[in-house]
Structure 1
Amino acid sequence: MSDDSTQTRTAVVTGASSGIGAATARALAAQGFRVVCAARRTDRIEELAAEIGGLAVTCDITDQDSVDTLAAAVPVCHVLVNNAGGAVGVDRVDSADLDGWRWMYDVNVLGLVRVTRALLPALRASGDAVIVNVGSTAGRWAYEGGGGYTAAKHGVKVVSETLRLELNGEPIRISEVAPGMVRTDEFSLVRFGGDQEKADAVYAGVEAPLLAEDVADAISWVATRPSHVDIDELVIKPRAQAAAHKVHRTS
């Protein structure tokens, strides 16, 4: 797409209050999109929207009424980035915290479905739309202590594949961007219940993990391909990460 073609186009980014979501909102705004920043933390998305000339809509993707409010604010949508998600805990299957697993499935999978279902009329109205679902390499690899999160992210992968089949023939492309190790301010901190030491240990000795801006750049690239080009999936990892269990550390 040329810059001219994106000037009046609208993009919706969920989970836009921090990390990959905020970086993606900035990246799409730089491409000329009017970005609707959706997240629970109103103060953060209002600040971001003011910065990039977008619109802030407070939205909890686990609540249908909240998602309906988002949809009502977006009559036409050209790009939907289902970014909101997260992980909690590192419990084994034999000691699984089912409340945590339920939350991860709700926010990563059902939240994506709620938002996509609600915005499909707006995506169809655009005549040329892209849905980018933010998955994870956890949707490709299993690892000990990650059962709840990997199950949810495998769900994101399969929902993306199913949407591509079901919407075939419509002017809507379905893509999944699946990052590996990304250092953001909040992801690991939330996963470890606010324990900064444990969160920092995830990246210890890794010379250059991905940053939110790296993933946002990939999402922006996927979203701005010519309308006949569908990037089914894009897996992006830091050079140091060969697999979930194989990460080069300098110390």
Structure 2
Amino acid sequence: MKNNKTAIITGATSGIGRATARLFAQNGIRIIICGRREERLQKLSEELSAITEVIILNFDVRDKEKVEWAIKSIPANFSDIDILINNAGNAHGLDTIDEGKTEDWDAMLDINVKGLLYVTNAILPNMIERKSGHIINIGSTAGKEVYPKGNVYCASKFAVDALNQGMRIDLNGKGIKVGAINPGLVETEFSEVRFKGDNERAEKVYQGFTPLKPEDIADIIWFAVTRPPHVNIADLTVMCLDQASSTIVNKVTS
């Protein structure tokens, strides 16, 4: 399928970002994949270059100057960004507020909130000039309800929810769609990062039920960006069948 649109995806080296890059490529979207892990970006680029045009931007969304430099380095033939997927995000630690580590708080706020702002700020001028574009912010059910020991992570995702609403209001009338996809439990590297490499603890998060897969969220993102011009998916929450809330999950115990 031929497609003349260009998409930029942050956090493309794993999980939802990687699955979305693959699905977009399969549908002929030209893609700019962004992430901190250059080796993974190269590998994904090699895979997807066989079916679409791909360029790599290797940067950390927390670094404002590097974000700006990376976006400015985009070749002219890729510079008209039609779709921005603000996917980069992480959870660090699972602690009560009195036991939380300030470095974990900084990481979550810097990546989940400030990083989203830095990237959006760098991309928006071109969208506004062309009066065309679509921004998808990847939020979380953690941005809809707070759960025990989720404090700062939930706060960062509540911020994403607020920013999504604010962007949609501020960009109204400028021809730019803004919407959020808010997943519940998705089996990715999320818990491995949260528990800082404790794979045994991370694996237990997804045991006893069937969680969402990254491809499930990629399908929903694709649905959102392929609606008719007058339709905007403003805010969508998705959970697996066995999840009823952040704290209620039907798990089969052995």
Scaled to the shorter chain, the TM-score interval is over 0.9
| Partner residue of 2:202 out of 190, 199, 202 | 199
**Equivalent position of 1:108 in the other structure:** 112
Question: How far apart, CA to CA, are the structure 1 residues paired with 2:13 and 2:19?
Answer: 9
Maintained 8 Å contact 1:77/1:126: no
Residue 128 (structure 1) shift: 2.4
Residue 45 (structure 1) shift: 1.1
> How many residues end up aligned between the 2 structures?
245
1:49-64 equivalences under 5 Å are: 49-53=45-49, 54-64=54-64
**Equivalent position of 1:162 in the other structure:** 166
TM-score of the superposition, structure 2-length normalised? 0.93
Question: How far apart, CA to CA, are the structure 2 residues paired with 1:123 and 1:77?
Answer: 7
5+ residue gaps, structure 1, are none
1:130-149 equivalences under 5 Å are: 130-149=134-153
Question: How far apart, CA to CA, are the structure 2 residues paired with 1:34 and 1:47?
Answer: 17
Residue 148 (structure 1) shift: 1.2
**Equivalent position of 1:12 in the other structure:** 8
Deviates more, 1:109-118 or 1:39-48: 39-48
Deviates more, 1:59-68 or 1:239-248: 59-68
Deviates more, 1:93-102 or 1:192-201: 93-102
**Equivalent position of 2:181 in the other structure:** 177
Asked if 1:85 corresponds to 2:81, the answer is no
Residue 13 (structure 1) shift: 0.2
TM-score of the superposition, structure 1-length normalised? 0.94
Letter of the structure 2 residue corresponding to residue 8 of structure 1: N
Task: Provide Cα deviations, 1:30-51, integer angstroms capped at 9, x if missing partner.
Answer: 2221010000111111221222
Maintained 8 Å contact 2:93/2:100: no
Letter of the structure 2 residue corresponding to residue 20 of structure 1: I
Task: Provide Cα deviations, 1:51-89, integer angstroms capped at 9, x if missing partner.
Answer: 222111112100112211331115210000000000010
Asked if 1:41 corresponds to 2:37, the answer is yes
Deviates more, 1:118-127 or 1:222-231: 118-127
**Equivalent position of 1:31 in the other structure:** 27
Taking only the aligned residue pairs, the percentage that are identical comes to: 40
5+ residue gaps, structure 2, are none
Residue 123 (structure 1) shift: 2.2
Task: Provide Cα deviations, 1:184-230, integer angstroms capped at 9, x if missing partner.
Answer: 1x110110011111101111211x10001101111111111112111
**Partner secondary structure for residue 241 of structure 1:** coil
Letter of the structure 2 residue corresponding to residue 171 of structure 1: G
**Equivalent position of 1:224 in the other structure:** 226
**Partner secondary structure for residue 205 of structure 1:** coil
Maintained 8 Å contact 1:210/1:237: yes
Runs of 4+ aligned structure 1 residues displaced above 4 Å come to none
Say what the alpha-carbon RMSD is for the aligned residues: 1.2
